[in-house]
Amino acid sequence: MTPAPPTSNSPDSKDEAASALFRKFFSISPDGIVLLDNDDRILKANPAFLQLFGYAIDEVLGRPINELIVDPGNSHAAKDLSRRALNAEVVQQEARRLRSDGTAIYVEIFGTPVMIDERQVGIYAIYRDISDRVKALHALRHSEELFQLVTEHTGQLVYDYDLETGIIDWSGAVRSVLGLSRSGTRRFNIDRWAERLHPEDRKRCVHLMEQTERSGEPFHVEYRLRRLGDEYIHVEDRGAYLHDEPGQPTRLIGTLTDITQRKAQEEAIAYQATHDALTGLANRFRFEEAVNQLGRIATDTGREHTLLYMDLDQFKVVNDTCGHNAGDELLRQISDRIDELVRPEDLLARLGGDEFGLLLVDTDTEQGARTAEKIIAAVNSFRFNWQEHRFTIGISIGLVALDGSLDFIDLLKAADQACYAAKDQGRNRFHIYHEQDRLLRQRSAELAAVADVGAAIAEKRFELHAQRIVDLLDDRSSHGYEILLRMRDRRGELIPPGEFILGAERYGRMNELDRWVVEHALQRIGEQDHSAGTTSAGAPWFSINLSGITVGDTGFGDFVCEAVKRHKVDPTRICFEITESAAITHHRHAVRFFNTVRAMGCRVMLDDFGSGLSSFAYLKTLPIDFIKLDGSLIHDLGRSDFSHAIVRAIHDVARALHIPLIAEHVETPEVLDQLNAIGVEYAQGFLLHRPSPWLVPTGMTPQRPARSGSC
């Protein structure tokens, strides 16, 4: 009797179907699969295994698997894995293995014991290629380490704020910036962050965070954060929200940057913009703002205020006898003495040189006169001591009512005239300006100034002096010269520039003077070059001062270009100086003139920078080649941390714009050392070279020395 064939539901049929299914899975599986005996020898290997490790089937059958794919350095771990699998343990491990060509791959290994009749006869091992995943993890770990290294060394913090838990995770320089101990945690909750906020900033910052959390907008704010004890730093906080699928914010990722140093520089620059570097008083710019503001209020309300214009009577004597350092110290001491008499609501300012302004709020001229008397008495009782010298100082004061009828320029002019009236009456007194004084004094002053300047030109009493400008970065071998205008009276005595330049500017003769200087200076340079056979290489350059009024003359640029060509002067050796205040006041005309002369090769210098009349922002709009620091900053450089910080800040800005700095009034080795330490490129002053006659017109012989040591 022939046995019936197995039906599809018989046990033999099911086993055969399962075997067929296993064989198919074995052959088409994307993972490498091997069957090992109890000695770790390969009994069977699927195509994926052969392809993964680069072997043919006859190269692997009967071979111990660890000899084929395990490098010697990993043999101990591989044997331990085999031992566990042969002890009927299901194993799983990620490991590094070798292909037939010696290249490494990363695999995930699954080992399952093969049991027959409860006896282990071998191991099924599955090898899954995870090289791409491992490489990605390594790359991520490397980028995290690199990110940590960069943030640690740049002083930047990165945070991850979980809105649900309220926990902030920090990375970067969190310990150094926030002053945490090395063992301190990099994680704390939002309340601890809020506690570290400066009390004046806390409400604003917390409100902004709550507001941006609701809106999902980026978070950007600057605030003060406590480090250790009561020490606060300024930080800039920038963050962006991550959202879930419904669009709700879940995390805030951001950076915290320590901007304490930047804030200090900004505060120093802001202070310098409105304060006099020498005395610490308000400067002319701040004074003008206050006067204009009170003037507008006075016009609307009828309130009256009083402006005092004060000029020291013996300042030039001190300056000429003892030098600029003594003059600076006198100004500081006088400022302190006057400031003691000023009410908190009033404003005392240094307007320039030895001139001061005082704005008395809600004070008529009669009350202002009593204040003037107190100031005169205080200055009279003061004695200035410098080395072996002892000086009695006087002060003349002009008063003018601030009722909104005059603008700042006219107010200052009126107060100036009243001050000079006090000087004419014997000095060391005050004079109240009245409308009936104005026309008479204005006409008298105008006629005197015009007549004197015009006569000096006609009588050849103007001459040019020169002061050397030294290149501090080139062993002082390269240099230039500043051309200085000097005037002599009919006795042959030099008159200080301040006594005729202001009058020439005020009464319309400065353009004529500047043209005289340019014409004679270029003629002199051309003649010197022709007679000496000078070439441009190694030849000195020359800087010529110009008034803002002259720069505003639309035809002056063409005059300069024509004169340069006519005298056959190399334009690259010519530089034109204009003060910071003049460049800002005549900004449009200054830019036009600068572009005209620079187009032909001449250079341009911004003079008296740092006097407080302008903003650093103007540097971007002015096409200039040099910046000359205001002399008042340089005088105090050796002994004032404030002046040193201002000069360094200006140097940093100038260096970023690739504009070299020139320091004037360098009179001591200590100041020169400070300039070298900061990296200032050029310097001039009595320490390096005293101004000397450079061009004396024919027929004019100097007979007396200068009455002023001013350069």
pLDDT at 629 over 70: yes
Enumerate residues 6+ apart whose C-beta is below 8 A from 603: 541, 572, 574, 575, 576, 625, 626
Mean pLDDT, residues 234-243 taken together: 89
Looking at residues 689-694, what average pLDDT do you find? Answer: 91
Query: 462-515 pLDDT, tens per residue?
Result: 899 999 999 998 866 668 999 999 988 888 888 777 767 876 776 678 899 999
Per-residue model confidence (pLDDT) at position 610: 79
pLDDT of residue 638: 74
Going by pLDDT thresholds of 50, 70 and 90, the confidence category of residue 75 is confident
Q: In whole angstroms, give the CA distance from residue 527 to residue 519.
A: 12
Closest CA to 663 of 471, 465, 466, 464: 471
- The pLDDT confidence band at residue 548, using thresholds 50, 70 and 90, is confident
Neighbours of 242 (CB within 10 A): 12
pLDDT higher for 452 or 415?
415
The CB-side HSE value for 478 (13 A sphere, CA atoms) comes to 11
510-532 vs 498-506: helix axis angle to the nearest 10?
A: 120
Percent of the chain at pLDDT > 90 equals 40
Q: Phi and psi at residue 23, in whole multiples of 5°?
A: -65, -40
CA-to-CA distance for 414 and 278, rounded, in angstroms?
A: 26
Residues with Cβ within 8 Å of residue 356, at least 6 apart in sequence: 281, 309, 310, 311, 335, 338, 348, 349, 350
Asked if 4 and 28 touch (Cβ cutoff 8 Å), the reply is no
SS3 content of the chain, % helix, strand, coil (to 5): 45, 25, 30
The answer to whether the CB of 274 falls within 8 A of the CB of 282 is yes
Cβ atoms within 10 Å of 642's Cβ, excluding its own: 16
Predicted local distance difference test score (pLDDT) of residue 2: 40
Cα–chain-centroid distance for residue 210? Answer: 32
DSSP letter assigned to residue 3 = P
What Cα–Cα distance (Å) separates residue 64 from each residue in 39, 561, 589, 667, 671? 7, 94, 92, 90, 83
- DSSP letters for 175-233: HHHHT--TTS-SEEEHHHHHHHB-HHHHHHHHHHHHHHHHH-PPEEEEEEEE-STT-EE
Confidence band (pLDDT; 50, 70, 90) for 405? confident
Distance (Å, whole) CA 26 – CA 44: 10
pLDDT tens per residue across span 290-300: 999 998 888 77
What average pLDDT does this structure show over 233-250?
A: 87
- Lowest-confidence region among 434-438, 452-456, 528-532: 434-438
**pLDDT value, residue 457:** 82
Q: Is the pLDDT of residue 440 over 90?
A: no
Between 174-178, 359-363, 428-432, the lowest mean confidence (pLDDT) is in: 174-178
Q: Are 466 and 484 in contact (CB under 8 A)?
A: yes
CB 168 within 8 A of CB 251: no
515 versus 4: the higher-pLDDT residue is 515
Strands 167-172 and 156-162, bridge-based pairing: antiparallel
Output 457 or 429, whichever has higher pLDDT: 429
Q: How confident is the model at residue 144 (pLDDT cuts 50, 70, 90)?
A: low
Assign 708 a pLDDT band (cuts: 50, 70, 90).
Answer: very low
Work out the average pLDDT over 521-548.
84
Write the CB contacts of 72 (distance below 8 Å, at least 6 apart in sequence). none
pLDDT confidence of residue 147:
55
Please classify residue 398 by burial: count the beta carbons closer than 10 Å to its beta carbon, then call 0-12 exposed, 13-18 middle and 19+ buried. Answer: buried
Whether pTM > 0.85 for this model: the answer is no
Q: Which domains does the chain have, with CATH numbers?
A: 22-129 (3.30.450.20), 135-258 (3.30.450.20), 269-433 (3.30.70.270), 449-695 (3.20.20.450)
Mean pLDDT along residues 403-409: 86
Query: What's the pLDDT score for residue 282?
Result: 94
Cα–Cα distance measured from residue 360 to residue 307, given in angstroms and rounded to the nearest whole number: 6
Please say whether the beta carbons of 395 and 356 come within 8 A: no
- Residue 160 pLDDT grade (very low, low, confident, very high; cuts 50, 70, 90): confident
When the pLDDT of each residue in the chain is averaged and rounded to a whole number, the result is 84
CA distances from 533 to 383, 478, 526, 527, 602 (A): 57, 19, 10, 10, 21
| pLDDT, tens digit, 9 for 90 and up, residues 566-610 | 999 999 999 999 988 788 778 888 999 999 999 999 999 999 887
